[in-house]
Amino acid sequence: MGEGDVAIIADSAGRGYGFAKGVYDHIMGKPERDFSMGMIDIETTNFKDGEFKVRVKENIRGKKCFFIHDANQEPSRWLASLAFTLDAMAFSSPKEINLIMPYTRFARQERKEDSRVSVNAKVLANLVSDYADRGMTVDLHAPQMQEYFSIPFDNLYSFPSLITHLRAQHAGCLDNLVVVSPDLGGGKRAEALVKRLVKQGIHADVALGYKTRKRENEVEKVAIIGEVAGKNCLVVDDMIDTGGTMIKTGEALLEKGATSVCAFATHGLFNDRTRNFGVFKEVMVGDTLCCEPMPNLEIVSLTGLFGEAIYRTVVGESLSGLFNDH
């Protein structure tokens, strides 16, 4: 590759810039890297009426670009900023536009559940596919959303990073372990983690939560399906939104005799700041979003995962190798 062929593009004024810088540092630190790479800033001009425009601050003509979009924006601003930045890049003559979404907003509206409603995930996929050559995210809420994109779109898995973190910080938790999904729909996610643990010589069982709701985002009760008495339980989900489901699952596990209960979610939204997560020994979340500190909150870094995925994309290596060995 020639000089300066690869560019990481991110907004230095955004809260997610530290994540983008971590990805950049991981790639730059690889001794086998044989290509040059720069980090290019995005300039945003805000107007008094609330409108704004974006500009890529340096020349990207002929470069293979990886735009790491800051997820720490309210959804409508996130979507507008995404569209404007992709448009600015497309008219700057890059060799490639690779969109990196650490957290993909609107992914929960992935199907038509009623008449006369928008399928927001499809709208997002159409927008991205019109501008980008490739996309990448981690732990989509609905993995089938990948089918909406008309470009190659990779959904990474956070489990390798989680297992590395558990072995380094909570090795005792891996003994006598039960991986718990807080709902039936997440059962495959729990089973996938167990399979990866088994490959590393760690035995674990699976338990499921069955939840009933009074209304949207409000869980009334969680029942546990599976044997958890005397076990170390790890509740796993793709996100913590208000935390209601996660907390009620933790309470139900303790009521059924679990020795200890920890939780992991890839994306920590924490939209109800008044929730008490003290039921958990530890609450672990990825660094795809910035979180307010809590006494028992731990951050599992995913910058290495994205850095390795971007590196492999640049050099043409398979991404599946990131997960087949775990």
Please name the amino acid found at residue 118.
Answer: S
pLDDT tens string 306-317: 999 999 999 999
pLDDT at 216: 60
User: Which of 15-19, 154-158, 236-240, 316-320 has the weakest average pLDDT?
Assistant: 316-320
Q: Are 248 and 229 in contact (CB under 8 A)?
A: no
Residue 142, exposed/middle/buried by CB under 10 A (0-12, 13-18, 19+)? middle
Region 276-288: mean pLDDT is 95
Cα–Cα distance measured from residue 39 to residue 293, given in angstroms and rounded to the nearest whole number: 29
pLDDT at 143: 85
pLDDT at 320: 87
User: Torsions phi, psi of 160, nearest 5?
Assistant: -60, -40
CATH class for domain 159-300? alpha beta
Residue 319, exposed/middle/buried by CB under 10 A (0-12, 13-18, 19+)? middle
Cα–Cα distance measured from residue 65 to residue 20, given in angstroms and rounded to the nearest whole number: 13
Stretch (H or E) spanning 221: strand 218-225
Q: Are 23 and 307 in contact (CB under 8 A)?
A: yes
Beta-carbon neighbour count of residue 26 at 10 Å? 18
257 Cα distance to chain centroid: 31
pLDDT at 108: 87
Please name the amino acid found at residue 236.
Answer: V
pLDDT tier for residue 3 given thresholds of 50, 70 and 90: very low
Cα–Cα distance measured from residue 61 to residue 84, given in angstroms and rounded to the nearest whole number: 18
Residue-averaged pLDDT of the chain: 92
pLDDT tier for residue 100 given thresholds of 50, 70 and 90: very high
Please name the amino acid found at residue 17.
Answer: Y
Region 260-270: mean pLDDT is 96
pLDDT tier for residue 126 given thresholds of 50, 70 and 90: very high
Domain edges within the chain: 6-158+303-324, 159-300
On the question of pLDDT at 60 being above 90, the answer is yes
Q: Are 262 and 234 in contact (CB under 8 A)?
A: yes
pLDDT at 217: 55
Region 82-110: mean pLDDT is 95
Decide: helix, strand or coil at residue 271. coil
**Tokens 């062929």 sit on residue:** 5
pLDDT tens string 4-15: 599 999 999 999
**Tokens 């670009």 sit on residue:** 65
Same fold, 6-158+303-324 and 159-300: yes
CATH class for domain 6-158+303-324? alpha beta
Measured CA angle at 300 (ends 38, 240), to 5 deg: 115
Q: Percent of the chain scored above 70 by pLDDT?
A: 95
Residue ranges in the chain assigned as alpha helix (H): 17-28, 75-90, 120-131, 159-169, 187-199, 244-255, 303-315, 321-324
Cα–Cα distances in angstroms (integers) from residue 232 to residues 27, 88, 258, in the given order:
36, 50, 6
pLDDT at 211: 75
pLDDT at 58: 96
Region 242-257: mean pLDDT is 94
On the question of pLDDT at 215 being above 70, the answer is no
Beta-carbon neighbour count of residue 321 at 10 Å? 11
Pair type for strands 204-215 and 218-225: antiparallel
**Among 225, 227, 223, CA closest to 177:** 227
Decide: helix, strand or coil at residue 102. coil
User: Which of 23-32, 39-48, 212-221 has the weakest average pLDDT?
Assistant: 212-221
Based on the residue annotation, tell me whether 188 is a catalytic residue of this protein.
Answer: no
What's the token pair of residue 114? Answer: 């009623």
On the question of pLDDT at 264 being above 90, the answer is yes
pLDDT tier for residue 112 given thresholds of 50, 70 and 90: confident
List the catalytic residue out of 63, 64, 211, 248. 211
